[in-house]
Amino acid sequence: MTLLLGLLPGVHAQSTAAAKPAPAARTVLVMGDSLSAGYGLSAQQGWVALTADRIAERRPDWRVVNASISGETTAGGAARIVGELRRHRPHVVVIALGANDGLRGLPTLQTRINLARMLGAAHGAGAEVLLVGMRMPPNLGAEYTRAFEQNFSALAERFDVALLPFLLEPLALDRAAYQSDNLHPVAEAQPKLRDHVWPALAPLLD
């Protein structure tokens, strides 16, 4: 029987190819707060889940891990990122934190230090990074809101990473796009966020 199989052309090659394991998918790790965790939405409705669906269709060699936590601050993200990097070994990290720092009026310097730690950790793990910025309402004072916003652009330049300046830019002036808390976008607005993030994220998947 062994001799017969050896005489059949292609049989051995085909069996070897069939046994070859498929290459492991590369990973996009998203570390954000409730805006990325999909607060008030089903698991499939948030912009991260919608982005994962798009990636599955267009780039099946990639997967998305959403490690976002509602209420997360940059301090929480800085404390968690090394563990998440070890666990998932991502090729791309999306950092979308800072909103809760601003809403609590935390010092902008501390926010910058925490984000810098996250960026440094991601770079140390060999990952590309997309830094997603946030802006604060003017009631916090012009100096604070300016310093808060400038954190993101300054860090993106310092670490030479991709920057999306303001996650909520497509919805900023649309009251109907938000839930009753005036903070979290409704399900119908999530595709706009996905489409807003996509042009900044897609080049990192090449």
Burial (CB < 10 A; 0-12, 13-18, 19+), residue 2, is exposed
Would you call 34 a catalytic residue per the annotation? yes
Alpha carbon distance 74, 31 (integer Å): 10
Examine the residue annotation and report whether 123 is marked as an active-site residue of this protein.
no
Active-site annotation holder among 34, 68, 101, 196: 34
Separation between Cα atoms, residue 93 and residue 74, nearest integer Å: 15
Instruction: Please tell me which residue in 33, 68, 184, 196 is annotated as part of the active site.
Output: 184
Q: Which of 143, 140, 141, 186 is nearest to 35 (CA)?
A: 186
| Max CA pair span of the chain | 84
Q: Is-contact 201 55, C-beta < 8 A?
A: no
Rounded to whole angstroms, how far apart are CA atoms 51 and 195?
Answer: 8
Task: Kindly name the residue from 42, 160, 181, 206 that is annotated as catalytic.
Answer: 181
CA 120 to CA 118: how far, in whole Å? 5
Q: Active site includes 184? A: yes
- Annotated catalytic residues are 34, 181, 184
